[in-house]
């Protein structure tokens, strides 16, 4: 095996990195995951994820974790309501029979990020994840990598896989290609105990998901298993608007006043999302890697997930692409047909490039029409609702 007696280092402990670690350990590879978080509970995990049969679920099945997923996923959480800016419901999956089951091509069961991360962590050997490992430098010494962390520790690895997201420290060692701004920025926030703190939105969600369109803007929200909701609003603007707009993004009162002006055509019910003051908004200018990106493979370093193919979240493919990256890379690295690591990495990267060219285009197309004057009409035609 190409990785026999070699040490693999995965930088980043998100779903992609943890899935890769599990798959490699199944094949007997020595692997460590270096994660910048202090521990597994220090950071609030984001909203729900829908896993797809051909990607996320395929990776979990290969990792022998499908039963664990079934024990933790949230049946019915995928039920969607489509609304306009006045909170009028135009499409409601709560009125329909459940769609599909495991094994069906279009079945997309939902799971909260926290439980997904935990089931992946639980599947790994003890001490696989090295917490509090914020990488600050990487150096290639005699065909090995020396990794230096902010806490003063170092590690040596034969192969490094960057699973460290949008601001990857590993990507610059592979390619100078940078992402471009999509034209859309989102503000993201979590509201605890939504039944108490956002009762109108809680009722609209009905335990599932909502997407609202109007005036070339969006609001999306999902109910989480802990009773909270995760939501984000999206609008076309320049990438630095929240820095130059004259209000403090950390001040909820000021953000509310901005919302009342910017979303003046929207019903007052949406203000409930902004009146909750216990959590702050996170601004996220959405970027995308060039769809035609490519580079020459190296023999001991590669990237997966957002580090490889960052894109906006408007196709539901981010985590699924990352987990499929993990599956395809693990199969390449442990495939005896390859005579050297460079060939194995190249095989994975060529598959990744082709997938991203297709999925990235779909994502950018979605980002554009969802923030256009005809967004509601477009999505209703896609879902073809009865009313």
- What is the model's pTM? 0.94
113 known member of a binding site: yes
50 known member of a binding site: yes
Residue ranges of domains in the chain, CATH in brackets: 7-42+113-177+290-363 (3.50.50.60), 180-287 (3.30.9.30)
For the residues of 290-306, what is the DSSP string, one character each? -TT------SSEEE-TH
Angle formed by the axes of helices 318-333 and 15-26, nearest 10°: 20
Q: Using an 8 Å Cβ cutoff, are 30 and 7 in contact? A: yes
Residue 35, token pair as written in the block? 């994660």
For the residues of 349-364, what is the DSSP string, one character each? HHHHHHHHHHHHHHHH
Residue 118, token pair as written in the block? 């935990």
For the residues of 137-193, what is the DSSP string, one character each? EEEEETTEEEEEETTS-EEEESEEEE---TT-SSGGGT-----EEEEEEEEEEEESS
d(CA 178, CA 363) in angstroms, rounded, equals 18
81 known member of a binding site: no
Q: What pLDDT tens digit does each residue of the chain (387 aa) get?
A: 899 999 999 999 999 999 999 999 999 999 999 999 998 877 666 678 899 999 999 999 999 999 999 999 988 888 999 999 999 999 999 887 766 788 787 788 899 999 999 999 999 999 999 999 999 999 999 999 999 999 999 999 999 999 999 999 999 999 999 999 999 999 999 999 999 999 999 999 999 999 999 999 999 999 999 999 999 999 999 999 988 888 899 999 999 999 999 999 999 999 999 999 999 999 999 999 999 999 999 999 999 999 999 999 988 889 999 999 999 999 999 999 999 999 999 999 999 999 999 999 999 999 999 999 999 999 999 987 444
Question: Based on the number of CB atoms within 10 Å of its own CB, is 264 exposed (0-12), middle (13-18) or buried (19 or more)?
Answer: exposed
Residue 147, token pair as written in the block? 């990794």
């Amino acid at each position: 095996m190409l990785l026999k007696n070699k040490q693999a280092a995965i930088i980043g402990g998100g779903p992609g990195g943890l899935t890769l670690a599990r798959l490699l350990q199944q094949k007997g590879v020595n692997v460590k995951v270096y994660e910048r978080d202090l521990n597994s509970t220090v950071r609030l995990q984001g909203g729900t994820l829908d896993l797809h049969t051909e990607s996320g679920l395929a990776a979990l099945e290969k990792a022998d974790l499908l039963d664990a997923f079934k024990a933790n996923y949230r049946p019915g959480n995928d039920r969607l309501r489509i609304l306009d800016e006045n909170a009028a419901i135009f499409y409601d999956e709560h009125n329909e029979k459940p769609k599909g089951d495991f094994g069906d091509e279009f079945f997309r069961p939902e799971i909260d990020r926290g439980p997904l991360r935990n089931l992946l962590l639980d599947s790994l050997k003890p001490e696989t994840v090295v917490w509090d490992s914020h990488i600050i430098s990487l150096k290639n010494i005699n065909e090995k990598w020396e990794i230096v962390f902010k806490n003063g520790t170092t590690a040596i690895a034969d192969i490094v896989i960057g699973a460290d997201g949008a601001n990857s420290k590993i990507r610059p060692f592979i390619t100078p290609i940078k992402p471009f701004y999509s034209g859309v920025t989102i503000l993201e926030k979590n509201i605890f105990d939504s039944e108490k703190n956002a009762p109108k939105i809680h009722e609209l969600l009905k335990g599932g998901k909502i997407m609202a369109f109007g005036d070339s803007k969006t609001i999306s929200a999902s109910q989480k298993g802990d009773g909270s909701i995760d939501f984000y609003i999206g609008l076309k603007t320049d990438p630095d608007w929240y820095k130059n707009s004259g209000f403090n993004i950390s001040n909820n009162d000021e953000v509310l006043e901005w919302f009342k002006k910017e979303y003046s055509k929207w019903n007052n019910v949406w203000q409930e999302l902004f009146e909750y003051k216990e959590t702050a908004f996170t601004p996220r200018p959405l970027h995308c890697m060039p769809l035609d990106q490519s580079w020459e493979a190296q023999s001991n370093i590669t990237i997966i997930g957002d580090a490889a193919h960052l894109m906006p979240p408007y196709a539901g493919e981010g985590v699924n692409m990352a987990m499929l990256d993990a599956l395809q890379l693990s199969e390449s690295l442990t495939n005896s047909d390859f005579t050297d690591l460079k060939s194995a990495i190249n095989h994975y990267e060529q598959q990744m490039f082709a997938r991203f060219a297709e999925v990235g285009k779909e994502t950018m197309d979605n980002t554009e029409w969802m923030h256009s004057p005809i967004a509601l009409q477009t999505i209703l035609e896609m879902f073809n609702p009865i009313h």
